[in-house]
Structure formats: structure tokens, C-alpha cells
Amino acid sequence: MKFPFKFVLFFLVFMAASAMSAQVMPTTFEGIDASSYSYAGLNVDPNGAVGTKQYMEWVNPVYQGFDKATGNPIYSTPVDGSTPWRFHGMQDCVDVGGNAELNFDKIAKRWVLGRRQGIEPDGNYVYCIAISNTDDLTSPTFAWYPYMFVLNPILGSNGTHTYYPDYPKIAVWPDAYYVTIDLEDVDQGYAEVGIVTCAFDRTNMLTGTTMRPPQCFRYPGTPLGLFYAHSLLPADFDGTNLPPKGAQEVFISIENPQGGSTSNKLNLWSFHVNWNNPTLTTFTGPTLFTVPTYTQGCYSVSLPTNTVCVPEPSTPQTSQYIDSVGDRLMQRLTFRSFTGSKPYQSYVLSQTVQVGSGPQSQTGVQWYEFRNNKTIHTGTINPGDENYRFMPSAAQDKAGNLAVGYSVSSLTEHPSISASYLNLQQRTAPTEISLWSGTADEENAFNWGTYTSMSVDPVDDCTFWYVNEYFDVAQLTNPTWQTRISHFILPNCN
């Protein structure tokens, strides 16, 4: 018996929707906590990545590996973040601070650790990258290939002081490791005045040999005045299908409101690196993309850099709010290539936005999908309760499911961890799940890190892994924060 095409299509859509509605059961285990090491600070910057055999997490300024099956830590205590460089004569990379990111190169199956080091006794700012020689943290031959790059020559200055390099992001692309860094003027209250983008020699770094000089660009060429397109996110490769041959690396940033409170633009750049003839390397953009009008999370026209407005149950007594970091797009900008009868390339990312009115309006999460660098799909995660949702991170599995992890807090809910998922191909509505519920507040500081990480397991290309922070003991003086690592799989991803 033959069925009409429309019936078959309806049946397939119905089955996909039914699979998406099946119960999702997240698994969680404890990550690095402030009690794990003696020099924990208030600013956490929790992030991590899932590899073939382990999960790795970074919090300032240490890292730890975890067995994916049991959640047990690999190392007896968190490892000092300067370890990959300490025994290789790279002293400028030893006094480790924050601003680090862990990544997993899914193409080569290697761990990647990148971070910026602050001003050193010799007067240099440096960027430090280390690449593992294997995917297995427990291998007796495990080692890091460490590299260091002096940033000063590309940063520029205001005539008195070198611009401060802040908020670096690193991503994996077949032809390079791409890094973006914000430029800040220390004499203007660390106002953001530009960005630097660099391509690092992935080919040689994977073998531990001398890397060719990084190829870098500064935008604008002469930083001047308030910069409206800061904190570029570099596209980070996910999946098993490589980008089309010759595909350029893509960067996306916010377009801040200029004199108002709303924006309807995002910026896109392209980076083409030519290692054989660097004179042919190009960095082009920005191209403005129109998106639904948004107001950045906690945005204030009178003080755009102040994004602190998320309440906790203790806020009426402490007057302490949490920083939403709503003035920028949040990592990661993930890339995935889909094959089939209608192949396409998909980029997803997210940000914190206002979902009400007023300078301290409730916040929600806005997600975006770019296809083939131009077609845009977007939506807002705002279930309609009184909770503030902020600090998101998004990724996409091989079935076209989008998952966004984020923090949740309000006057009636202690800061907790949740995620929402939907299918980008079927355009399903988002479904929210709780990953972990906090039972206490951060009562003495507004710091909530500056990013989190959602990643996809390279083994099955389905399982989402997410890390974020929470509190079980109120932070009144010394740090008491904790982190939780969660993973879940959506039933329609086989």
C-alpha cells in the first residue's frame, strides 16, 4: 500500500516531535570547587570541553580532568594552570591568572589550552597556547606542546600605555587555531577600543615543532573612541564533516546600541590565512546582519558597561546583584557541516537579552543560527516565569538539535543551572530542563565568571556536556562557589 507524500512527511515530523518530547534525563557530577585548592578567587570563569576519553574543566587558575563514565577526577588535586609551560623555560606563562579556555580539537583529537598572561616584569603581555600530544589524560606518555607569543607589537597604545589585552577566545579550524582578544584603554576605565585577531600555526603545533609566526590583524587599525563591535567569537569546529575546502574562518560579534537602548544588528568577519604567502592573508569585515531587535541583558544607556542586575533571594538584604555579562555574545560560536541532498553549513551562538522593560529588566536567552553565512534563524528562551536566565552557551548535535545551557536566578530561586533544547531542522519550541539547583547565594560579589561552555561529545556526536557554577554555602567572605558538570542526550539523536 502506498501512502501519499504529505502523509509520510507528516508522519516523519510527528515522529521527530514525539522523540523530542521524550523525557531527557541529565547526569551530573561535581566539578572543581573553591574548596579544592587554597588560592581560589571570586571570579571563576568556568569552562571546559569533552574529549574522546575524558572531560576537562578550567576554573581560575587551575584545571582538572574527569572520567566521562564515572565522573571521578583524573588528578588528585586540580592542576596549576601554568603547568604546561613551567618546565619549558617560558617564565612569562608561569604566573597564571584567569582568561583561559579549554578546547578539544575534534579533527586531530588533541586538547587545546589557551590563555592570556598579564603584564610581566619584562613589560610584555603574552598569549600562551599548549597542545596535548594525545587525547588520553591518563596515558603515561601524556605531555603538552607549549607555545608563547608576545602580544605587545600588535596591541597598539594610546600614546602612553599599551592597550590591555582582555577576554581572549580560541577556536579550532582546519587551517589554524584562531584567537580573538579585546583591546582596552587602561586610561579610560578599561574602555574597549578595538580587537585583535590571530591565526596560529595549527599544523606545526600539533607535532610540537616550531610554529610559524602568528598572522594577526587589529581592528580598527588605529583604535579610537568607544568601540561598538567588541568581543568577537571565532567559529569553533564540531562534528565529523570538515568545512568545504578553502572555507574561511568566521567571526561574529554584537553591534552595541549607539546612543539608544536597542540594536538589530550583528557583525560578521572572515579570516583567510595563507601560510605560504602571508601577504595574501586577509581579514575582512564587518558585514552587518539584521536580526530581531534586542536589548542587551541589564543594559543601561547611561552606563553601558554595567551589566549587573540579576537578583538572588538574598538581594533585598545585601543589595547584591549578579553580573549577566549581557553586553556581548557568549561563547561558543559553533560550526557544523551537514551533508545530504541539501547540504548546508550551520553556525549557532547565544546571548543574554532583556525580556521586559526598564534598566534592570528580567533577562532571557537569545539564540541564533546562521546557515551558509547568511540565512538567520533565531528565538528567545523565556518560559514566562519570574526567573532571570543569563550566561548562556550553545552547541548543536549531529541531528540538528540545539542545546543552550545557562544560569537561572531570581528573588525566589537561588542561582541554579538549566538548559533548553530544540530542533533547528524541525523548528520545535524550546524545552527547558533543570541540570542542578543551588541552595545558597553569592552575597559578597557580583562576579559570575564571564562565560560557561556547552560542547558535544566527539565519540557519539550526540551527547551534550555543560559546566557552570552554583552555591550550596552562602558566600559571605571567602570563596565558596562550586561547579557542576552535566551531560545529556536527546532521544532523536542516534
Q: Which domain holds residue 39?
A: 19-488
* CATH label of the domain that carries residue 309: 2.130.10.130
For residue 356, the tally of other CB atoms under 10 A from its CB is 11
Of the candidates 314, 297, 312, which has an alpha carbon nearest to the alpha carbon of residue 391? 297
- Which of 103, 100, 66 has its CA nearest to residue 451? 100
- Give the pLDDT score at 361: 83
Looking at residue 191, its pLDDT comes to 86
Q: What is the pLDDT of residue 153?
A: 94
State how far the Cα of 401 lies from the Cα of 393, in Å rounded to an integer. Answer: 14
Asked if the structure places residue 11 within a domain, the reply is no
The pLDDT value recorded for residue 238 is 98
The pLDDT value given to residue 359: 53
What pLDDT score does 11 carry? 42
Whole-number pLDDT of residue 375: 83
The number of residues in the chain equals: 494
10 within a domain of the structure (yes/no): no
**Could you tell me if residue 459 is left (phi over 0), alpha (psi between -120 and 50 degrees) or otherwise beta?**
alpha
Round to whole Å and give the CA distance between 432 and 426: 17
At residue 360, the pLDDT reads 61
What is the pLDDT at residue 122?
67
The reply to whether 6 falls in a domain is no
Residue 3 lies in a domain: no
What's the domain count of the chain?
A: 1
CA distances for 105 relative to 131, 142, 179, 355, 430, angstroms: 9, 16, 14, 36, 29
Whether residue 101 contacts residue 180, with contact meaning beta carbons closer than 8 Å, is answered with no
Taking only the tens place, the pLDDT of each residue in 160-208 is: 999 999 999 999 999 999 999 999 999 988 888 999 999 999 999 999 9
pLDDT for 4: 55
pLDDT of res. 8? 41
Mean pLDDT by 10 residues, the chain (494 residues): 47 46 87 96 95 97 97 97 92 83 98 88 86 98 97 93 94 98 91 94 98 96 76 97 95 84 92 98 94 91 86 97 95 96 95 79 95 89 95 98 98 98 96 98 94 97 98 97 98 90
Query: What CA–CA distance (Å, rounded) separates 320 from 82?
Result: 33
CB crowding 71-100: b at 16 or more within 10 Å, else e? eebbeeebbebbbbbbeeebebbbebbbbb
Domain contains 480: yes
Q: How far is CA 378 from CA 18, 218, 325, 399, 468, in A?
A: 22, 30, 20, 18, 24
In a domain, 212, yes or no: yes
Q: What is the model's pTM? A: 0.94
Query: Which pLDDT does position 494 carry in this prediction?
Result: 78
Comparing C-alpha atoms, which of 50, 135, 113, 47 is closest to residue 451? Answer: 47
Within-domain flag for 1: no
The answer to the question of residue 4 being in a domain is no
